[in-house]
Structure 1
Amino acid sequence: MSDKLKTYEKIDHAAVKVTYTVALAILLGLLVWGAYTFLQFRKYEYTNDAQVKSYINPILSRASGYVDQIRYTDHQQVHKGDTLLLLDINEARVQLQQSKAALATAEAQLKVLQSHVKTTRGGATVDQAKIAAAEAQLWQQQKEFDRYQNLLKTEAVTRQQFEAVQTRLEVARSNYEAVKNTLGVSIGKTRDVNAQIAVAEADIEQRKAAVERCLLDLKYAVITAPSNGFMGSRTIQEGQYIQKGQTIGFMVDKNQGKWIVANFEETQIAQMHEGQAAKITIDAYPDAEFRGQIESISPATGAQFSLLPPDNATGNFVKITQRFPIKIRFADDNPMLDKLRAGMNAEVSVLRE
């Protein structure tokens, strides 16, 4: 019996030693972890309120029409200039033909007016020649009238002869005035036609603009990718009518790159500044570590940019620690960057300086 007790005592003693050893190891591990964590917290400002961001561009239609073809799928990678959508262009072609016909009509009308100007200018030139002839005839009749008037005083001519000369003078004067009036009418017609030409030229410019507008509609019927990136979910169908300015989809812009928006508490940002180094860990890839640096610090909290910012002057006040969005650019060309997607959660540590 005593041998069994001794055996049990040895087993208990060994178990106690193992327990103490394990407990001591755990304690040492906790102390090491605690010391490391303490040093890390003293060295870095840390937050897990962070996400990967990218520019998400809306793709807008610059023309109205029915969707003829859709040439992209959900989440497809596209390159700048790739055709995404084709609108039906039959109506635009008809409008283009109508605009070209209206332009041709306006140009023909302008040619008619220009020809009319030449005609009226020619008539004015003839009238000017007639004025010169009428003026010479009037001068001659005036001289003859003066001579007969002197002869009448000496009774060298009869009154009947004098009155005939006087009548011819009045006729010559009337002819001269009539020709001058005719010239005035011709000049007035020329001015009117010139004014009509100005209107016709303006109408031609308007018709040309209409043609250009139709050509643009034909061009805008082909909707292309504005940059390299990835398309979002497709929300339109073939045969659907879309309006000018309507959003047909969204694209994650690859050219603008990716960055992190980390929301640090207001008690953490006192020593932060642009260019400060940061370590980034993405929840989706916990084994990969990224380097970055602060690009900008928000001038206000996120709540201040909301549609209805909180007003602490109304109601009861409860002090809540605010957070400031901080934009962090990736500082390396880690091949894992291509795998990151907008909206992924991240953890960020900013090196204290």
Structure 2
Amino acid sequence: MDNKKKIGLIIVGILILLFAVVAIKWIKHRMEYAITDAVFVESDYISNIGFQRVSGKVIQLFAKEGDFVKEGQELAKIDDTDYKISLQQIEKQIESLEYQKEELEIKKDRISKELDINQINSSLTKEEINKRKEALSEQIKQVEAQINQTKKDYERYENLLNKGLIPKQKFEQIQTQLSVLQKQKSALEKNLEELNVSIKKAEEGINLAKVQKIQISELDKSILSLQKQIEALNKQKEDLENQINYTTLRAPFDGVIAKKFVSIGDIVKSGIPIYSVIKKDSFYINVLLEETKLKGIKKGSIAYIKLDAYPDKEFEGVVEEIGYASAATYALVPRDISAGEFTKVAQRIPVKIRITKGDFSLLRVGLGGEVEIKKDK
């Protein structure tokens, strides 16, 4: 055999050996890893956010698609002029009602003080007058008793005088004594009448106190009514302040703007999506793995991902969930095998892989690629 044939055989042998080595490695790799290209980047925390409880004209948009945002960061603003005008009107109403309430409270305080004084004075006055009236009545009785006795003496002395048994001076003394007693009685009766007038005035004071109590009760009702109105308006005020706050749209969490739905000048209603925000670190790989490749795949299995958009970038992850039903189970149009026609196809089971390593800023929902999941023995 010449040298050329030997060299040719050697080359062929080497190629066969290399092919065998590659084939063995390929087969070994396929046995150690579950490989599929049914791979999609998804997120379990996508939020379409919009203005809540308010509507109006969009006057500012602070973020664009692809921007990374922080929780609480301002994203958009609608015109809040009408809400602020309504708030000012309510604040003026509250101020007016509080002024009315303050005036009624001052009036109530004044009447309450007058009432206390009237009650004390009227009660004491009537009590004192009644005591004095009792004393005068007793005095009048005593004077009347004296007058009655003196009248008897007067008649007896008058008879004796007519018979000439006593001097006229003695009779005149009795006459003078009777006149003094009668005048004393008249004076006491006049004082008694004056006391009766004073009692009526005291009773009028007591009645006035009763009227003042009614006035205070009515004032209390008016004050309570104003207080309830103020409380209701304060609730409206608080609600309007919240609505004004809602005219600024803020990021609900740290994330990236995936989609902007409106432009400046658009009129939007409550609940209409303004942005779609994907939460930071919420990306995962959704794998539809053939049932024939499930053996050895468990939660915690290591996975290596390459995305078609970035073929030179590699991501790592771990299996987080393995579905309990095939993807076909929830298909909108399930297979109909009731006619007896059946073609066996490998079913695909959803496998969720949480990304642990890689450039997260490159991830976009919907990107496709390839995944290799290391099988456990």
TM score, norm. by length of structure 1? 0.73
Deviation by residue 1:76-133 (Cα, 9 ceiling, x = unmatched):
4143255432322322232222122112112211211111211221221132122221
Q: Does the alignment pair 1:345 with 2:338?
A: no
SS at match of 1:244: coil
Alignment RMSD: 4.4
Q: Match for 1:100 among 91, 111, 133?
A: 91
Q: Match for 2:315 among 246, 269, 290?
A: 290
1:351 deviation in Å? 2.1
Preserved CA contact (<8 Å) 2:318 2:353: yes
Q: Match for 2:49 among 59, 77, 84?
A: 59
Question: 1:107-256, aligned counterparts within 5 Å?
Answer: 107-128=98-119, 129-145=121-137, 178-253=204-279, 255-256=280-281
Preserved CA contact (<8 Å) 2:289 2:351: yes
SS at match of 1:295: strand
For structure 2, the 5+ residue unaligned runs are 149-180
Preserved CA contact (<8 Å) 2:90 2:237: yes
* Paired amino acid for 1:140: R
More moved, 263-272 vs 87-96: 263-272
Counterpart in 2 of 1:3? none
Q: Match for 1:262 among 264, 267, 287?
A: 287
SS at match of 1:347: strand
Preserved CA contact (<8 Å) 1:107 1:204: yes
Q: Distance in 2 between matches of 1:152 and 1:267?
A: 135
Q: Distance in 1 between matches of 2:35 and 2:319?
A: 13
Preserved CA contact (<8 Å) 2:122 2:203: no
Question: 1:38-77, aligned counterparts within 5 Å?
Answer: 38-54=27-43, 55-62=45-52, 63-73=54-64, 75-77=65-67
* Paired amino acid for 1:48: D
* Cα 1:83–1:140 shift into 2, 3 Å: same
TM score, norm. by length of structure 2? 0.69
Deviation by residue 1:202-244 (Cα, 9 ceiling, x = unmatched):
3333333433444433333333444444434433233322122
Q: Distance in 2 between matches of 1:136 and 1:25?
A: 139
1:252 deviation in Å? 2.8
* Paired amino acid for 1:141: K
Q: Match for 2:306 among 240, 257, 281?
A: 281
SS at match of 1:123: helix
* Paired amino acid for 1:57: S
Aligned positions, number: 332
SS at match of 1:331: strand
Q: Distance in 1 between matches of 2:324 and 2:227?
A: 55
Q: Distance in 2 between matches of 1:299 and 1:186?
A: 81
More moved, 276-285 vs 146-155: 146-155
* Cα 1:215–1:42 shift into 2, 3 Å: same
1:328 deviation in Å? 1.8
Q: Distance in 1 between matches of 2:146 and 2:23?
A: 148
SS at match of 2:41: strand
1:150 deviation in Å? 8.4
Preserved CA contact (<8 Å) 2:295 2:375: no
Q: Distance in 2 between matches of 1:173 and 1:115?
A: 31
Preserved CA contact (<8 Å) 1:295 1:327: yes
Q: Distance in 2 between matches of 1:34 and 1:138?
A: 130
* Paired amino acid for 1:135: E
1:168 deviation in Å? 7.6
Preserved CA contact (<8 Å) 1:79 1:225: yes
SS at match of 1:288: strand
Preserved CA contact (<8 Å) 1:280 1:290: yes
Counterpart in 1 of 2:175? none
Q: Match for 1:87 among 58, 64, 78?
A: 78
SS at match of 1:46: strand
Q: Distance in 2 between matches of 1:219 and 1:90?
A: 12
Preserved CA contact (<8 Å) 1:141 1:172: no
Q: Distance in 2 between matches of 1:245 and 1:264?
A: 38
Deviation by residue 1:284-308 (Cα, 9 ceiling, x = unmatched):
233433221123445666677x698
Preserved CA contact (<8 Å) 1:44 1:350: yes
* Cα 1:145–1:322 shift into 2, 3 Å: farther
Q: Distance in 1 between matches of 2:298 and 2:203?
A: 92
For structure 1, the 5+ residue unaligned runs are 1-13
Q: Distance in 1 between matches of 2:82 and 2:232?
A: 20
**Percent of paired sites with the same residue:** 23
